[in-house]
Amino acid sequence: MSTPHNQSWFSRLAKFIAHATGRPAAFGLAAATIIIWAVTGPLFGFSDTWQLVINTGTTIVTFLMVFLIQNSQNRDSEAMHLKLDEVIRALSGAQNELLDLEDMEEEDLDKVRATYAALAEKARLTLESRSQKPAQE
């Protein structure tokens, strides 16, 4: 199992950048960059090169951030699935066949979802009938 000390360089870098860019200071830096760019417009005569600088910069940053965000979401999702799997496994009476739902095909997930939706509807009807009995007496 991977610990913080033996993670790949990409995992360490992705975590660091995701953490750093999610901070208020990173937003402030991005906002300051846009303000500085906008203020320098008259200095550069609002030229095509002036516009190209911000367009290119934001495109590159966006392109790279997509991969970092996806990596972070994949890691978080995997960790959440493992934690939920452990909870399901540890609970007496839990349905262990639910442990790998994330690997099922969409149509199979729809069937499981329909089963649980029916259980929820039945529970709501039971609750409604219980809450109506005292009112009728």
Interior CA angle at 32 toward 15 and 42, to 5°? 140
Average predicted confidence (pLDDT) for the chain: 89
Cα→Cα distances 11→33, 66, 76, Å: 28, 15, 12
pLDDT of residue 3: 58
For residue 30, the SS3 value is helix
Q: What is the mean pLDDT of residues 16-36?
A: 94
Cβ distance 37 to 54 under 8 Å?
A: yes
Cα gap 67→43, rounded to integer Å: 35
Rg, C-alpha atoms of the chain: 26
In the predicted structure, residue 19 carries a pLDDT above the cut 60: yes
pLDDT of residue 136: 52
Cα gap 7→19, rounded to integer Å: 16
For residue 80, the SS3 value is helix
pLDDT of residue 4: 59
In which residue are the tokens 């300051």 written?
A: 32
> CA 116: distance to chain centroid?
24
pLDDT tens digits, 56-93: 999 999 999 999 999 989 999 999 999 999 998 899 88
pLDDT of residue 134: 61
Confidence of residue 135 (pLDDT cuts 50, 70, 90): low
In which residue are the tokens 């951030």 written?
A: 65
> CA 21: distance to chain centroid?
15
